[in-house]
Amino acid sequence: MRKAATVTIVGMVTMVGAGLSATPANAATGNGVCEAGEFCVYRDTTGNVLWDSGRTDNSYSNDTYPLAGGTVQDTGSSVVNRRGKGVRIFVNGDQNGAGWNVPADGKRWNLSGTPVGNDRASSHQFL
């Protein structure tokens, strides 16, 4: 009896530990879900059409919205930074032109009113 109970408890602890450690590693770039560690560009100011990126991207011209399709280039209207660190987004490719530092607060920010503007974003840099 005692041995069986011990085995069960050890098994539960192992499962919980694996679940916790696996969460960040399972965050998949390009799956259309904005997860911890990612920077996400939304096609619109509301709604859930988004592109999730896990690294610096020099050009949005070859990127599409994973679930909805369509190019990311010059279509982004809002962004969410879930990196926990800075991300700078730019009007032009290769981190050129007007840029704006997206706060690392996980909130949704409209690009209208920033130096980048609506439907103009073309690259970003992980700071």
Distance CA 39, CA 87 (A): 8
From 5-13, 61-69, 79-87, 89-97, give the range in contact with Ca ion by CB under 5 A. 61-69
Residue 56 binds Ca ion, judged by CB under 5 A:
no
* Closer residue to Ca ion in complex, CB, 8/21: 21
Residues with Cβ within 8 Å of 86's Cβ and at least 6 positions away in sequence, in order, are 101, 102, 104, 126, 127
Distance CA 54, CA 27 (A): 9
From 10-18, 52-60, 102-110, 112-120, give the range in contact with Ca ion by CB under 5 A. 52-60
User: In the Cβ-directed half-sphere of 48, how many Cα atoms lie within 13 Å?
Assistant: 6
Residue 33 binds Ca ion, judged by CB under 5 A:
yes
Q: Site for Ca ion (CB under 5 A): which residue of 49, 52, 77, 116?
A: 52
Instruction: Report how many residues bind Ca ion under the rule CB under 5 A.
Output: 9
* Closer residue to Ca ion in complex, CB, 11/24: 24
Q: Site for Ca ion (CB under 5 A): which residue of 6, 21, 26, 31?
A: 31
Q: Site for Ca ion (CB under 5 A): which residue of 37, 63, 71, 92?
A: 63
**Residue 5 burial (10 A CB sphere; 0-12, 13-18, 19+):** exposed
DSSP 76-103: --EEEE-SSS-EEEEEETTTEEEEEEE-
Q: Would you tell me which residues interact with Ca ion (CB under 5 A)?
A: 28, 31, 33, 35, 52, 57, 59, 62-63
